[in-house]
Structure 1
């Protein structure tokens, strides 16, 4: 067996493998394989010319702690049913992480179908993925406004509209400016999102003071289904003013069967990750031990030297570590998805007591948001 990047001649097999493992609309797959997916962004395990297992490393720009980084969204990890339970998926993921590290992508993320499979391999909680159930009968702009705003005296109502993609892009961009972590959507990202919404018979509602006023937000709504017990589903909500999303607190979250409510993130290279992040203008030094169950080259002792906010990381030996940290906990620290104290409580971090305030200062918790499937 051989692992290698895909090429144009492999696309027929790649699509057949996708269709054997997942249940996506043919029109979406037509667009994805003809327009979106570039063969060199896929990796596969081959036996001769036969594709047994593949993974798509979709290039993305993400924001971590208000700084933009190149990354990869790992999607469609698929194994030929006749070759499952042979460890192929784990081998391909290991190869993919090293491939990304070699291409200077220190962080990658995915939406898991089996959370435990990934967390035991070093993935940690990264970002929220939130869908919400709307009340039955939410079919008009007024009922949608009532569901989202309740009895608040909001001056916004919702109006059905075939919204211009550029308009939605602008609202999303402004809405995500208030978040420390988010996906930076490209035009192709938007094309895929809106195509998926269309194929699911979803609607877009624009929020404004009246039908002719400038929109202040949008809501993407999916129709009722047996899985939601006849209730519409709020696919995405974005406002120019972030406080207007407070109405989400009164809605029930919805997790589609076979998916997770959170994205998982993974560090591919410890030194690259720690040196790339922004830090407060502090000076500190500590020795950290990293435990990586999948990439032994990441495991070991690191000397972290922070001088006025600039981090320098080097490998070291023979020093006593002040912090013991799993690679999954490092992903949570780096992205701010968990506080240091939370990770101490779960046993993913052990440290000298006097270092907790230092980690709190270096890695404050924040909120990350991604709402994509592809």
Structure 2
């Protein structure tokens, strides 16, 4: 067995594994391997000179707790059927986790097909979305104010402005710039999707959607004010001769449920969306901006079975608005695995949640330290590859 980064001439083998393992349309596969795939971000396992397993570490900038981190988004984890059950996934994941650490990355994200597969590697649930499943007729009463126009590359500055406004109260987003939206246009087009902008004197919102038979899937509906949201909901209704149902994905703090005529007839649920992982515990904690003037300290035992630098007992000290982390040989005040530490670090849970989940009891000093460092936020991310 040989674990290595992909070479230029490996692309056909990697595409064969992708096509075998995932049910993506040809247009999307072409888009992915033309615009997203990079051999230097692809890890493969080679057996008898044949590639049998692969994954990609797609690079993004993640805005987490007011800081921007270079982040690997793990996608395309796949193995040919004849090589399954032989431990290759463990090998390729362990190699990739330590590669991220060695490259100086502090956090990683992953969209799971099955949470049980990735929890063992330290990834844990960190992002949810609201999913609305509505009859299109439920949107009939809304009114259009202004006009809807098909988005073009020349509208990207407006899309960035709308996105920044809409996401300002959420945590853990991908940084969206000109290059991001240029790529998003290609991705949406590859799946026969559409992007429209709501204009009312100025650009006030946008919607990304796909028509799938009699169902519309709305991937994003971002807005600056409630009139823009109502206009785009009416725009969805105006597809009523084509679509009878609409599925809308939205952040946890979205406002659609507050303006529906009869929410009781709607199917509204929280949908787990993305996992995260702390890759470098010391580096991540010491990077945080802390506003408190308190001086606090505690010894935390962390279990990480795959990145040895994260495994052990750490003194975490808050002093002069900075966090200092040192590995020590001492008694621990509390023990968490890297999964719980990840959820705290991503602000998905707070210390009270962590103690309940792990059935722990700790001193008030430990609680005060964790409350000062970590506070629960509305996390939102909406990237698929």
Aligned residue pair count:
351
Provide closer, same or farther for how the CA distance between residues 189 and 137 of structure 1 changes in structure 2, counting only shifts above 3 A: farther
| Residue number in structure 1 paired with 2:207 | 219
Correspondences of 1:1-374 after superposition (within 5 Å): 1-136=1-136, 143=140, 146=142, 156=145, 159-163=148-152, 164-209=155-200, 213-225=201-213, 230-241=214-225, 245-248=254-257, 250=263, 252-253=267-268, 261-281=272-292, 282-317=294-329, 319-347=330-358, 351-374=362-385
Is the Cα contact below 8 Å between 1:168 and 1:218 reproduced in 2? Answer: yes
Provide closer, same or farther for how the CA distance between residues 299 and 156 of structure 1 changes in structure 2, counting only shifts above 3 A: farther
Is the Cα contact below 8 Å between 2:291 and 2:321 reproduced in 1? Answer: yes
Please list every run of at least 4 consecutive aligned residues from structure 1 whose deviation after the TM superposition is greater than 4 angstroms: 154-158, 241-245, 248-251
Question: TM-score, normalised to structure 1's length?
Answer: 0.85
Distance 1:29 1:101 in 2: 29
Provide closer, same or farther for how the CA distance between residues 292 and 349 of structure 1 changes in structure 2, counting only shifts above 3 A: farther
> Structure 1 unaligned runs (5+)?
147-153
Aligned-partner SS, 1:355 = helix
Aligned-partner SS, 1:85 = coil
Distance 2:331 2:147 in 1: 60
Provide closer, same or farther for how the CA distance between residues 350 and 201 of structure 1 changes in structure 2, counting only shifts above 3 A: farther
Aligned-partner SS, 2:349 = coil
Q: CA deviation at 1:279?
A: 1.9
Distance 2:308 2:273 in 1: 26
RMSD (CA atoms) = 2.6
Distance 1:165 1:196 in 2: 15
Distance 1:199 1:101 in 2: 33
Is the Cα contact below 8 Å between 1:60 and 1:73 reproduced in 2? Answer: yes
Distance 2:219 2:269 in 1: 10
Q: CA deviation at 1:365?
A: 0.4
> Structure 2 unaligned runs (5+)?
230-253
Distance 1:298 1:350 in 2: 22
Q: CA deviation at 1:333?
A: 0.8
Provide closer, same or farther for how the CA distance between residues 6 and 130 of structure 1 changes in structure 2, counting only shifts above 3 A: farther
